[in-house]
Amino acid sequence: MSTPLSLATSRRPDGTPVLTATGEIDMSNAAIFAAALADAVDPEGVHLVVDLTAVEYLDSAGLAALFPHAECIQLVVTPLLEPLLTISGLADLTTVHRPGPDQAADSGG
């Protein structure tokens, strides 16, 4: 039984690309997640919003997929995942948002 994960790309009304992950990310499916990230990220363009609100589990394999793109993405995470990002240092390299109606609140603010 493989780890459940579904990925979807979309755009916000303002045209910002969004990659929404639902399920769990571990070493068994981190490659799929990494591939989806690589596809969705545009190093030259607008920062990709990676919405991890519906991710129930994320470990170093998932973080490893996020790190190479740290400068080109924004993350949306629940408070559950936040300590992980802080500990790993990813929070220092990228912008992290709490999910909200506006989806724009900066975690730093």
Partner 1 sequence: MSSGDRQPRVDADVFAIDEEIGRDLARVDWAATPLGAPAGWPQSLQTAVRILLSSRFAMWMAWGPELTFFCNAAYRRDTLGRKYPWALGRPASQVWAEIWDDIGPRIDTVLTTGQATWDEALLLFLQRSGYREETYHTFSYSPLRNDGGALVGMLCVVREDTDQVIGERRMATLRDLGSDPSVVRTEQEMLAFAERQLNRNRRDLPFTLTYLFEEDGRARLAAATGITAGHPAAPRTLSSTEPGALWPAGRLLEGESVRVALDGATVPELPTGGWPEPPTEALLVPLPRQGGTPYGFLVAGMNRYRALDDDYHGFVELAAGHVATGIASARSYQAQQRRAEELAELDRAKTAFFSNISHEFRTPLALIMGPLEELRIRLHGAERSVQEELEVIRRNGLRLGKLVNSLLDFSRIEAGRMQARYEPVDLAAATADLVSVFRSSMERAGLTFEVDCPPLPEPVHIDRGMWEKVVLNLLSNALKFTFHGSVRVTVRTEDGQAVVRIADTGVGVPEQEMPRLFERFHRIENVQARSNEGSGIGLALVKELVGLHGGTITADSALGEGTVFTIRLPFGSAHLPATAVVPAVTSTTEVSTSAEPFVQEAQRWLPEVAEPATGVEPDPSAGEEFRFGHRRAGTPARVLVADDNADMREYLIRLLRGAGHLVDAAADGQQALEIARTEVPDLVISDVMMPRLDGLRLVAALRADSRTAGTPVLLLSARAGQEASIEGLEAGADDYLVKPFSAAELLARVRANVELARLRNHHARWRTALVDSLQEAFFVCDEDGTVIEINAAFTDILGYGPEDLRSGPVQPWWPDREREPEAHRRVVEAFEVLLGQSHGSYTVPVTHADGHRLWVAAAFNQVDDPDTGRRMVVGTFRDVTAEHYAVQRETALAALSVRLSQADDLTDALHGVLDELRKLWRAAGVMAAVFDGAHAPVITATDPRLRWDALPEQRRRGITALRDRPLLTPVADQAGGAGIAVEHPHGTMVVWIDLGEKRPFTDQDQTLLALLAGHLGQGLHRVHQIDQQRETALALQRAILGPAQLPAGFAVRYAPAARPLKVGGDWYDTVELPDGRIGIVVGDCVGHGLQAATVMGQLRSACRALLLQDSRPGQTLMALDRFAAQLPGAACATVFCGVLDLFTGELRYSSAGHPPAVIAHPDGTIHLLDQGRSRPLAVRPGLDRPEADCVVPARATLLLYTDGLVERRRQPLSSGIAHAAAAIQSGRATPIETLATDLMDQMAPEGGYDDDVALLLYRHPGPLELEFPAESTHLAPVRTALRNWLDRCGLAPANAYDVLVAAGEACANAIEHGNRDSPGGRIRLRAAATADDLRLSVTDTGRWRPPQPAANTHRGRGLVLMRALMDTITVTAGTAGTTVDMQARING
8-state DSSP, 29: T
Q: Rule CB under 8 A: which of 36-75 touch partner 1?
A: 57-61, 63-64, 67
- CB-nearer residue toward partner 1: 40 or 58: 58
Task: Report how far residue 89's alpha carbon sits from residue 43's, in angstroms, rounded to the nearest whole number.
Answer: 21
First to last CA, the chain: 41
Q: Single out the residue of 9, 28, 35, 45 in contact with partner 1 (rule: CB under 8 A).
A: 28
- CB-nearer residue toward partner 1: 18 or 61: 61
Q: Single out the residue of 16, 20, 88, 107 in contact with partner 1 (rule: CB under 8 A).
A: 88
- CB-nearer residue toward partner 1: 40 or 65: 65
- Buried (b) or exposed (e) across 3-37, using 16+ Cβ within 10 A? eebebeeeeeeeeebbbbbeebbbeebbebbbebb
8-state DSSP, 94: S
Can you give the binding site for partner 1, defined by CB under 8 A? 1-4, 24, 26-28, 57-61, 63-64, 67, 79-80, 83-84, 87-88
